[in-house]
Structure 1
Amino acid sequence: MRKVLSKPILILLALTLVLGTMGFSPGNGNGNGPGNGIANGISNGNGNGNDNGNGNGNNSGQNSGDLQRISGIHGEFDHESEEELTVIVELEEPSVLQAKHKGEQQQDRGDLELQRQDVMDAASEAAPSSEFNREYDYVFSGFSVEVQQNEIRDLAAVEGVNAVYPNVTHEAEILESTEIGAHEISPNMMDSAPHIGANDAWEELGYTGDGVTVAVIDTGADYTHPDLQHAFGDYKGWDFVDNNDDPQETPADDPRGDATNHGSHVAGTVAANGEIKGVAPDATLLAYRVLGPGGSGATDDVIAGIERAVEDGADVMNLSLGNTSNDPDFATSIALDNAMADGVVAVASNGNSGPADWTVGSPGTSRDAISVGATELPYMTYDSSMSTPSGYDYSTANVMGHPGEEALMALNEGEFEFEYVGLGAPSDFDGVDMEGKIALIERGEYAFVEKAENAKEAGAVGAVIFNNEPGEQPDVPGMAVPTIKLSQDDGSVMLQELESGNNTVSFDLAESGMMGETVADFSSRGPVTDTWMIKPDVSAPGVNIVSTVPTHNPDDPYGYAAMQGTSMSAPHVAGAAALLVQANPNWDTQEVKGALMNTAETLYDENGDRYPHNTQGAGSIRVVEAITTETLMAPGSYSFGTFEKENGKQVERQHFEIENLSDERKRFDMDVELFDGEDHIKVMTSNNLNVNPGSTQKVNMNVQVDASGLEGGYYEGLITLTHDDEIVEIPTILFVQDPYEVFPIEDLLDFGNFELNNGIFDVTLGFNYDIDYVDFVIYDSSLAAGALIHGVDDQAEGEHQYQIDANDILPLLPIVLPSDSYNFVVFVGKDGAEEGWVLGEFELD
């Protein structure tokens, strides 16, 4: 921690006069390593000041009871650096919606503005480099500010500040994209909207999203596209990148970065109505451009977009964007929770960092918003073999993708010449006669779809892509030419064949069966840290999704593209939510979410095994079933939290609610199934499962876990509710021991106290976790400025004793930090988050 000085040159001159030739060097404690000294030029090196009667102090200060908390700092910062960056500051004073939904007195925005300004004024004094950007008061209470990293702790210590978050980059969640000519598209977004039942909702039930407003918080949207312009009125939304009322996509000639089309693709999936149809073709759209050139943006604009969408009256909002922060209390997640509480159905992509667990990122980590994973639609599988003149068996040959079965099966019709074209870039085909041939391509640098598209443009009738490393390559439906994938070793053999003059290849392809809907490997998995919630909540198609895009070509401006990513799956759910809102206008957001979860279709992998909850959520959404359901269970999934081995048989009491939407009394049978660990886990529920028509019944549940007999990790199960042929399944999860190296930010420090005697701080601290670092800082009485005096790394869970010799530091305090009294503060950091606590006050003699 570096000392904050409003006039550092004058202070240094004063110290030179007092201390003569005392050495000056910055302290080393920055949260990443131990250090002694007061920063900005004050060290504990050569100052005398040893006389206990001259500033060292024999006074004692201690606090072994409740400690005063300094706001939590999320993210990793270099507390010595003068580099400026933007952070998001959350205030203790609740936002308008937070106050409303906590049952507190409704916030007056004028009063809240005055209180926020008071905090900002104090922040300017504590952190003089502060330059304020955006202010928030509706879904989030706070502001964004550019500040030097070495002033962030002082900013966090300002009275009224609750937390500080990094202004991280959010990216459009997309992996692959290929443009499709208008002659190649078909209505109903090819297969994805009909697959989830959207067309049945239009045709059989009459729900098309009419009268429902969906906010697309993204890269903007091409509201002039013929398939989209019906959905936009005079007011089209807002551009937070350029701060105007024209939320158009980034154009091709923007000097700041690449053109975008992502938001238009998302908007089309929600509400296109032209050559293709989105899930809710008659919905109204509002676009909020929070991601700029290249498809990236920052947290402060995303929060602003959420806030504006809620105030503009959106019924549903879609956020096909994310970051890698698996944090349920990240600023964007908090904003979405408040939006949901106010009646706006918030839908967020789960992320594209799968298939490992714990890869979900904010805002997909929101407690209440609907987080969406990506699936691949059912497809035909093939038995594949290929041969070259040597007769070598290419055992790893498999179909990667194709534009249609007819083109694929045409490869069975004889021998084809093949040519090696490197990585498959357009320049790799220059001067190569590919007409009617097979392109042999190495994996790497370019997307698979681009390689296939380039091969098609060069005249190839097929492609073979071999791996550039050991392992399996993914399947990529919708390739421009029939494409076979090979291992790295088999690709090397094929290159050797070519060098030997054996430049022909034959294929033998045959249908082997239909693969059902499967979860895409790239789809991020839960659970969420701290809350241990199952995420995603549901899944939806996200592979090879065709929708609207701008071409950025003035001669042919409107196009279509096939993209994949959880960005493509989320708007399927946002569109479905619009249909549910139209069909059930009296439902609240949790009923909409519950209906989508309760009626989702369970997914199974290629081996017929049920996907884990944290892979698929409740399953793949089915629109008609969600609209017409007669029973709702909330919440739609349940985490029973953590159970510690040392606690023996630990019991947690939980409950959920059954809502009977029908006009008849229902009696439900309930079963609880555990997939593993059932010998040590017992679930006891209430027997009263009779629910009157139009009523809600609370169901109590006790979960007893003997964690001593279980391995650490998480255990999944199902609560199944049955009435006649009606079946509702609720995914459940519980954890044995802390399953991941994370922690509640407010729970780092168990206890702390100190005494100051003869210039020595005797400190006792108790940690609830292994800690990355501990920094001790002296602040003035108002916590307006502080100076690091000692820091240590890697402290184990449990009690620790520290003796900090401050005899060389205390005499300097009246000069550097003029104050009547001082606060002794400890900062404790772990895994990119930090908490500060005031251990107590002391005075100098």
Structure 2
Amino acid sequence: MVLKVESRIFAGFHEIYINGEWDDLKQKLYAALMPLLVLVLVFSTFQSSGVSANSNKAVELATLQGDFDLSSSKAVKVIVELQEESIVEAKHNGKKQSKQNLKNARDKVKKEVSQRTSKSKVEREYEHVFSGFSLEIPANEIPSLLATPGVKAVYPNVEYTTTEVLTNEEFSPAMFDSAPFIGSNDAWDLGFTGEGVTVAVIDTGVDYTHPDLAPNFGVYLGWDFVDNDADPQETPPGDPRGAATTHGTHVAGTVAANGQIKGVAPDATLLAYRVLGPGGSGSTENVVAAIERAVLDGADIMNLSLGNSLNSPDWATSIALDQAMAEGVVAVTSNGNAGPNNWTVGSPGTSREAISVGATQLPYNVFTATTTSSDGASYASSAVQGFPSEDELLSLNGQDFELVDVGFGSPQEFAGKDVEGKIALISRGAGIAFVDKATAAKNAGAVGAIIYNNVAGVMPNVPGMDVPTIMLNQADGQALLAKVNDVTVSFDIAFSERVGETMADFSSRGPVIDTWMIKPDVSAPGVNIVSTVPTFNPDAPHGYGAKQGTSMASPHVAGAAAVILQANPDWGVYEVKSALMNTAEKLINPATGAEYPHNTQGTGSIRVVDALQAETLVNPGSYSFGVFEKTKGKQVERQQFEITNLSNKEKRYNIQFEFKNEVSKHVKVTTSNNTKVKPGKSQNVNVNVQVDASKLSDGYYEGHLLISEGGKTIQVPTILFVGELDYPRVTTAGFVVLGDNNFELYSYLPGGADELEFWIYTATASGDLGTYVGDALYDSNLGKGYNYHNWDGKLVDGRALPAGNYRLAVYAKKGNFDRAILATDVLTIR
């Protein structure tokens, strides 16, 4: 938000306006800015003799991204962007920029900040792909920071975490088939293995001693931004700061493992940058620093399998990635794991330029399962949830098994119970992942598990579980539980059908708020991916495990980019991006028989050899025409795309658009129907799109730009929006414990909110919502970004909450749309 502070003299009094209106945030800013405003008023009112006062002089402050509690003196970390352009930004704007000039500008701002604030501490400094520094400052002094000359914008130092969903499994070489599926083996046969290409893994660190990864590292390993040293090793077990990590090693293996298993680009060179510390979390300041260092260290590609839930393109990390792409480094990032709803993509997957990646599940066989108890009862909801192998699943047929009730399936509940050779009966819930329940069953000796729902509804399929697992609905599960000690069970499991590659439900969907861009750009395998993990044991260094998430999909694309760059060393980042996007395979949703939407799969699942053999590139590989407002009648948007002919002969391209459903009746597209492009040359093509929004319902509409030549057609996804958009009014919510039953409640509002409420429910033993208790907070007219509120543990009607555990849900409304989201943690009142 850009704040404009205006003073006006009227009848001898001064009136102060901030953007011409008042709300709670602006009142806080007014109070905090008063010392600065006094100076403004002095200079605007009491000027030298003979010079009249300017009664409408405006002072523009720096942009503030996110909201802060400006009444609090609590220290917060922020990222400060300077008006002085970074080296890369200046270069691509045709200007000269030097490190010394940047240092001088930065030092000047730092000195000014120290004079304007009572207490501030500069930490990391940036100059190459981002111009600025990270700063610790009392929240109530941020207004002084915004008024500092030379400051362009201030961003929150948000937390980033790995985009991984499930836990490790036992290694089996036959399970590692995702790289061959996208065509890596065929690319190797063509002689392209990523040799000579350097890939930076910005993550939790990498076990560079792993036998499958050690050959990919040189003397220089990268950098550890958590401990600030040259040893970017994973966090080991027993670290007093938090849990051990394995994520970055898994990601690096998918890119370039070259041992018992092979990554997509087994001969690529790796660099490791540790930005996520114990437990797999880290901060914006370290991520931006790693992006900058990877560019300076000469990386050709960088992979960021990390993210947060912020659907916004304008954050420091996104700016840094955009500039890294401008400097010629292919930036690849995960799209997030908050699917399957639209608008769930998170930063940095929201970057304008980087390649954002969604996750797919490889083709698999579907089995039916009939479950029968020895008293003759059959359970109609019986279905296969997951299994380690088809042989183990089918081995359950033709046998009678004893059942053992193990509650929610925690290791503690298995302790002391004899489940050897038996079936564990487990309830869903208690915050324990399905895979962890199955792993606990295997560790206790069970040959299988039945997991039943603890609420109405269906449960998801979960591939790769450690024991064959059958799922039942709540009613069937309760019926079986009632006689668990009196009956045995048998199964009839049979092959049903084979399902092709599908999108993972957890994979986040676009579009991006503000830019309205399609995300992800492409998809890649991300379910049950086996790769390298550290053992932290030099005597047994060959560690392997399976994980899933868009974290696992992204390195497939980074590895594919390495293979493509080896084959085309003179290509830039957009040739690589277009080759991957233009040749991706469209995926079909088996539930509908139709292609997945653009904002689910992007252009589709990558195919390495098709990208290598592309003869035509279209850039951009997807685009949005933006928002068409009903009140403007027929509205025209102009776009331009580029066609590159990679062949050795002239090509004539036929160009047309197609839109789905009703939008085609009210859209007029003007472009060149036939375009000739000489061999090895590129041609820009202009497109005008006229939309009569008044004839269309609110929402977003999909189409394709079709580029045809010689019997081949490239489909470029396009979208446009009409009227008021249904993006989620709240995407993140939670609380910070301050002590003595005082809390700080926070929420992220992508577009602000007319109304904001925090609702309180009792927390059940299973971690679900219990009874609604009342409202903790009500506020209105809030700006976009983060919002913070202090809460004293009482309801809005003044009642104190009894001691106990509670959960919060935050509700936000903007325009005609509203949305509620659950806070993930349990809040305890003492």
User: TM-score if structure 2 supplies the norm length?
Assistant: 0.82
2:577 matched to 1:593? yes
Partner of 2:80: 89
Q: Which residue of 1 aligns with 2:589?
A: 605
Residues 709-788 of structure 1 aligned to structure 2 (within 5 Å): 709-740=695-726
- 1:695-716 deviation per Cα after TM superposition (whole angstroms, max 9, x unaligned): 1122121111000011111111
Contact kept, 8 Å, 1:180 with 1:559, in 2: the verdict is no
Partner of 2:316 in structure 1?
A: 331
* Counterpart check, 1:441 vs 2:426: yes
Q: Which residue of 2 aligns with 1:80?
A: 71
Q: Deviations over 1:166-190 (max 9, x none)?
A: 0000001111012424xx224xx61
Please give the alpha-carbon distance, in whole angstroms, between the structure 1 residues aligned to 2:169 and 2:489. 29
Contact 1:31-1:78 at 8 Å conserved across structures: no
1:546 equivalenced with 2:530 (yes/no): yes
**Distance in 2 of aligned mates of 1:535 and 1:708:** 27
Tell me the distance in 2 between the aligned counterparts of 1:462 and 1:675.
Answer: 46
Q: How far did residue 69 of structure 1 move?
A: 2.8
Write out per-residue CA displacement over residues 769-826 of structure 1, whole angstroms, 9 at most, x where no aligned residue: 98769xxxxxxxxxxxxxxxxxx963999xxxxxxxxxxxxxxxxxxxxxxxxxxxxx
Contact 2:525–2:552 under 8 Å retained in 1: yes
Correspondence for 1:3? none
Distance 1:385 1:79 in 2: 60
Partner of 2:252: 267
CA displacement at 1:491 relative to structure 2: 1.1
Deviations 1:382-414 (A, max 9, x none): 122211134334222111111111111111122
- Note closer, same or farther for the CA distance 1:35–1:446 as it changes in structure 2 (3 Å cut): closer
Residue deviations 1:629-666 (CA, integer Å, cap 9, x gap): 00000000011111110111111121211111001111
- Contact between 1:529 and 1:740, CA under 8 Å: does it hold in 2? no
**1:122 and 1:224, CA in 2 relative to 1: closer, same or farther beyond 3 A?**
same
Q: 1:220-254: per-residue Cα shift (whole Å, max 9, x none)?
A: 00000000000011100000000000000011121
Measured in 1, the distance between the counterparts of 2:181 and 2:723 equals 40
**Native 8 Å contact 2:654 2:674 kept in 1:** no
Match of 2:299 among 306, 314, 320: 314
**AA in 1 matched with 2:356:** S
Pick from 151, 168, 185 the counterpart of residue 173 of structure 2. Answer: 185
- Are the equivalent residues in 1 in contact too, given 2:109–2:150 (CA < 8 A)? yes
**Residues of 2 paired with 1:489 and 1:702: CA distance?**
57
Distance 1:545 1:451 in 2: 19
| Pick aligned residue for 1:129 from 115, 119, 140 | 119
In 1, the alpha carbon distance for the partners of 2:547 and 2:696 equals 43
Residue 158 (str. 1) matches residue 142 (str. 2): no
Amino acid at match of 2:313: P
Using the TM superposition, give the Cα deviation of residue 741 of structure 1 relative to its aligned residue in structure 2, in angstroms: 6.2
Q: Which amino acid aligns with 1:564?
A: Q
- Aligned-pair distance for 1:740? 4.7
* Distance of aligned partners of 1:795 and 1:174 in 2 relative to their CA distance in 1, 3 Å threshold: closer
Q: Which shows bigger deviation, 615-624 or 557-566?
A: 557-566
Which residue of the partner structure matches residue 457 of structure 2? 471
Q: 2 CA distance for matches of 1:511 and 1:770?
A: 50
Tell me, which stretches of 5 or more residues in structure 1 are unaligned? 1-28, 43-51, 54-58, 744-768, 774-791, 798-829, 832-845
Q: What is the rounded CA distance, in whole Å, between the counterparts of 2:29 and 2:531 in structure 1?
A: 59
Sort the Cα spacing of 1:103 and 1:772 in 2 relative to 1 into closer, same or farther, 3 A: farther
DSSP-derived class of the 2:636 partner: strand
Q: Give me the whole-angstrom Cα distance separating, in 2, the residues matched to 1:30 and 1:734.
A: 33
For the residues of structure 1 that align with 2:503 and 2:782, how far apart are their CA atoms? Answer: 41
1:536 counterpart residue number: 520
- How far the C-alpha of 1:31 sits from its partner, in A, is 3.6
Give, in whole Å, the separation in 2 of the partners of 1:192 and 1:79: 49
RCO higher in structure (CA 8 A, sep ≥6): 1
CA shift in 2, pair 1:620/1:40, >3 Å: closer
Task: Give the one of 381, 398, 403 matched to 1:396.
Answer: 381
**Alignment-derived partner of residue 146 in structure 1:** 136
Deviation (angstroms), 1:62: 4.1
Q: Please, which of 591, 613, 625 is the counterpart of residue 610 of structure 2?
A: 625
Task: Give 1:127 shift.
Answer: 2.1
Aligned counterpart in structure 2 of residue 637 of structure 1, from 596, 604, 622: 622
Q: Take 1:686 and 1:38, find their aligned partners in 2: how far apart are those partners? A: 57
| Residues 414 and 304 of structure 1: CA distance in aligned 2, closer, same or farther (over 3 Å) | same
* Contact map agreement 2:655 2:672 (CA 8 A) in 1: no
Q: Contact 2:82/2:131 (CA < 8 Å) preserved in 1?
A: yes
The CA deviation at 1:63 is 3.7
Give the drift of 1:154. Answer: 1.3
Q: Does 1:703 align with 2:694?
A: no
Q: 1:148 Cα deviation (Å)? A: 0.5
The equivalent position to 2:659 in structure 1, one of 657, 669, 674, is 674
Q: Which amino acid aligns with 2:76?
A: L
Matched, 1:794 2:781: yes
Name the CA shift for 1:654/1:35 in 2 (closer, same or farther; >3 Å).
closer
Query: TM-score with structure 1 length normalisation?
Result: 0.80
- Residue identity over aligned pairs, in percent, reads 58
SS in 1 for 2:370: strand
| Per-residue deviation, residues 456-513 of structure 1 (Å, max 9, x unmatched) | 22221111111222222221111111111122222111101315x12x1111111111
Give the structure 2 partner of residue 809 of structure 1.
Answer: none
Q: CA deviation at 1:606?
A: 1.7
Amino acid in the other structure paired with 1:620: S
Is 1:375 aligned with 2:352?
Answer: no
The CA deviation at 1:37 is: 8.4
**Which residue pairs with 2:738 in the alignment?**
none
Contact 1:33 1:793 in 2 (8 A): no
Task: Report how many aligned residue pairs link the two structures.
Answer: 704
Q: Is 1:580 matched up with 2:564?
A: yes
Which of the numbers 212, 219, 224 marks the counterpart of 1:239? 224
Deviation at 1:330, TM superposition (A): 0.6
Q: What is residue 365 of structure 1 aligned with on the other side?
A: 350
Inter-partner Cα distance in structure 1 for 2:783 and 2:84: 35
* SS of equivalent to 1:408: helix
Matches for 1:647-666 after TM superposition, within 5 Å: 647-666=632-651
Deviation sequence 1:137-196 (CA, Å, 0-9, x none): 001000000001001121011111111000000001111012424xx224xx61100110
Shift of 1:725: 2.8
Q: Is the 8 A contact 2:71 2:140 kept in 1?
A: yes
Unaligned residue ranges in structure 2 (runs of 5+): 1-21, 36-44, 47-51, 730-750, 756-778, 785-813, 816-830
Structure 1 position 688, deviation (Å): 3.3
Residues 169 and 323 of structure 1 are in contact (CA less than 8 Å); yes or no, is this contact kept in structure 2? yes
* SS of aligned partner of 1:662: coil
Q: Give the C-alpha shift of residue 719 in structure 1.
A: 1.2
